């Protein structure tokens, strides 16, 4: 669209296994040498997870203990990251502005009461089918906490952000694993481009350290069961992802609105698009991604881009994505490929928001990330990228791409 409003990222909030905030993430991920990820191999054998960094203190941004009690961990870390993003954008507590700020969240379900579920399953196992129904009713009536129910609604991460942080322009929650994260950004960006929104808080959150989420993932055969190896190194053993606890939110803002209030951009979201292949034939994913790149490739400058890949490690999606990235022509040559899931784990709905945040950080800091693994797939680069392609290939459905670019000084956005 010729007269589309520029979409800037003016705030970032991050929480992960590497810590909290932009500085912690940049310093951990940009230091020379292959990053050694933080992994917990003991709690969920045979699975490993990237656990949330120790000592996350949510009291500052979620001061009410009553609010904290209403939330599962995915919500607490999500609200916290959302608060960090607002703070970073300089709008935390600015209620008149937040009352006009839109909210788009990518989310799955809440967290189940694992102890209650286990108790019920053990007790039902000894009963006949007829008895089991009545016993289930009685145990659930006595044991379920109403607040747990609220925790299970997908839109209650958004609801808690509204209550705690007062972001109340509007609120939308999108579901659907990885691609929900991209769809959330796409919805937000398109509304800003067309003038339907000026500021949107967008992101997601995942608590990986739970049996219930591992169970859901394992039913589909998606979990990596062997000792940890980087994302690109799992194909031969059948592939799989290692979940990582993380929350990532960004503030997307219409450039004129940001300029008017003196806010500086990390970067601009130059293009974003998604598609959904049926994945019936080999190459479907690659073809789908090529189509998306063609549809958004004209966005922004023609500079070659570095790639922050959201590849999960699940096959065949990861191998097909790699084939796609290697096939990108010389016109927009992709250099400096990095699968950030190696460093942070796979964050499902929050994974794409995480990738956008890392892309913005690199552009803002005028650098890039050294390889996250030692292989010929991830090579060091000398140049500083002006443009970063962030990929989002759902482990079972949905393919999408975004191009994040440096805001030129001429555009008034030098930082």
Q: Where in 342-401 is the site for other proteins (CB under 8 A)?
A: 394, 396-400
Q: Please state at what angle helix 114-124 crosses helix 211-219, rounded to 10 degrees.
A: 70
CA 367/CA 385 separation, integer angstroms: 7
Instruction: State phi, psi for 200 to the nearest 5 degrees.
Output: -135, 130
The binder of other proteins chosen from 5, 180, 206, 314 (CB under 8 A): 180
From the CB of 163, what's the least distance to other proteins, in Å? Answer: 5
The binder of other proteins chosen from 169, 256, 283, 316 (CB under 8 A): 169
User: DSSP letters of 26-92?
Assistant: HHHHHSSS------EEEEETTEEEBPPPTT---TTTS--HHHHHTS-HHHHHHHHHHHHHHHHTT-T
From the CB of 165, what's the least distance to other proteins, in Å? Answer: 8
The binder of other proteins chosen from 23, 59, 237, 276 (CB under 8 A): 276
From the CB of 126, what's the least distance to other proteins, in Å? Answer: 11
Alpha carbon of 10 to those of 111, 217, 379: distances in Å?
31, 34, 30
From the CB of 276, what's the least distance to other proteins, in Å? Answer: 5
From the CB of 167, what's the least distance to other proteins, in Å? Answer: 7
Residues 93-112 that bind other proteins (CB under 8 A): 103, 107-109
The binder of other proteins chosen from 63, 93, 133, 380 (CB under 8 A): 133
Residues 28-87 that bind other proteins (CB under 8 A): 70
From the CB of 335, what's the least distance to other proteins, in Å? Answer: 27
Choice between 90 and 176, CB closer to other proteins = 176
The binder of other proteins chosen from 154, 245, 319, 342 (CB under 8 A): 154
CA 169/CA 248 separation, integer angstroms: 20
Closest CA to 358 of 385, 379, 340: 340
From the CB of 343, what's the least distance to other proteins, in Å? Answer: 25
Stretch of residues binding other proteins (CB under 8 A), selected from 162-170, 260-268, 296-304, 370-378: 162-170
Length of the chain: 415
Under rule CB under 8 A, residue 294 binds other proteins = no
HSE at residue 152, side-chain half, CA atoms within 13 A, is 10
Under rule CB under 8 A, residue 160 binds other proteins = yes
- Find out whether the peptide bond into 187 is cis, omega within 30 degrees of 0: no
Q: Please state at what angle helix 351-364 crosses helix 21-30, rounded to 10 degrees.
A: 80
Residues 200-239 that bind other proteins (CB under 8 A): 211-212, 214-216, 218-221, 225
CA 10/CA 200 separation, integer angstroms: 10
Contact by Cβ (8 Å): 194, 254:
no
The binder of other proteins chosen from 24, 150, 303, 411 (CB under 8 A): 150
Choice between 216 and 256, CB closer to other proteins = 216
From the CB of 364, what's the least distance to other proteins, in Å? Answer: 29
Give the list of residues 6+ apart from residue 339 with CB closer than 8 angstroms, or none. 230, 231, 232, 309, 310, 311, 313, 372, 373, 378
CA 351/CA 341 separation, integer angstroms: 8
Under rule CB under 8 A, residue 194 binds other proteins = yes
From the CB of 394, what's the least distance to other proteins, in Å? Answer: 7
CA 361/CA 327 separation, integer angstroms: 27
CA 62/CA 57 separation, integer angstroms: 9
Choice between 225 and 301, CB closer to other proteins = 225
Stretch of residues binding other proteins (CB under 8 A), selected from 128-136, 252-260, 300-308, 336-344: 128-136
The binder of other proteins chosen from 176, 256, 283, 316 (CB under 8 A): 176
């Amino acid at each position: 669209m010729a007269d589309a409003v520029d979409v800037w990222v003016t705030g970032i909030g991050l929480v992960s296994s590497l810590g909290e905030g932009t500085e912690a993430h940049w310093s951990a991920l940009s230091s020379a040498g292959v990053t050694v990820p933080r992994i917990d191999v003991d709690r969920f054998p045979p699975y490993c997870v990237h656990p949330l960094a120790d000592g996350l203190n949510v009291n500052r941004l979620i001061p009410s203990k009553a609010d904290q009690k209403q939330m599962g961990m995915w919500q607490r870390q999500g609200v916290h990251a959302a608060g960090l993003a607002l703070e970073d954008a300089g709008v935390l507590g600015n209620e008149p502005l937040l009352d006009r700020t839109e909210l788009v969240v990518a989310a799955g379900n809440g967290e189940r009461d694992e102890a209650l579920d286990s108790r019920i399953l053990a007790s039902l196992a000894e009963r006949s089918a007829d008895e089991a129904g009545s016993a289930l009713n009685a145990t659930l009536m006595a044991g379920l906490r109403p607040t747990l129910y609220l925790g299970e609604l997908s839109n209650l991460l958004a609801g808690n952000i509204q209550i705690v942080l007062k972001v109340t322009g509007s609120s939308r929650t999108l579901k659907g694993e990885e691609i929900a994260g991209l769809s959330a950004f796409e919805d937000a960006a398109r509304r800003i481009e067309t003038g339907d929104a000026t500021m949107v808080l967008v992101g997601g959150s995942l608590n990986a350290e739970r049996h219930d989420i591992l169970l859901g993932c394992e039913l589909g055969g998606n979990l990596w069961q062997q000792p940890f190896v980087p994302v690109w190194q799992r194909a031969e053993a059948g592939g799989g992802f290692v979940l990582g606890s993380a929350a990532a939110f960004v503030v997307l803002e219409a450039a004129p609105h940001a300029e008017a209030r003196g806010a500086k951009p990390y970067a601009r979201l130059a293009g974003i698009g998604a598609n959904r292949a049926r994945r019936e034939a080999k190459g479907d994913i690659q073809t789908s991604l090529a189509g998306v790149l063609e549809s958004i490739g004209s966005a922004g400058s023609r500079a070659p881009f570095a790639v922050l890949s959201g590849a999960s490690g699940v096959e065949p999606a990861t191998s097909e994505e790699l084939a796609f990235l290697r096939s990108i022509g010389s016109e927009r040559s992709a250099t400096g490929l990095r699968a950030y899931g190696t460093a942070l784990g796979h964050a499902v709905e929050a994974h794409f928001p995480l990738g956008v945040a890392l892309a913005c950080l690199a552009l803002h800091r005028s650098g890039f990330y050294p390889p996250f693994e030692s292989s010929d797939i991830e090579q060091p680069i000398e140049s500083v990228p002006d443009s970063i392609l962030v990929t989002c290939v759902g482990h079972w459905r949905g393919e999408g791409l975004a191009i994040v670019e440096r805001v030129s000084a001429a555009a008034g956005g030098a930082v």
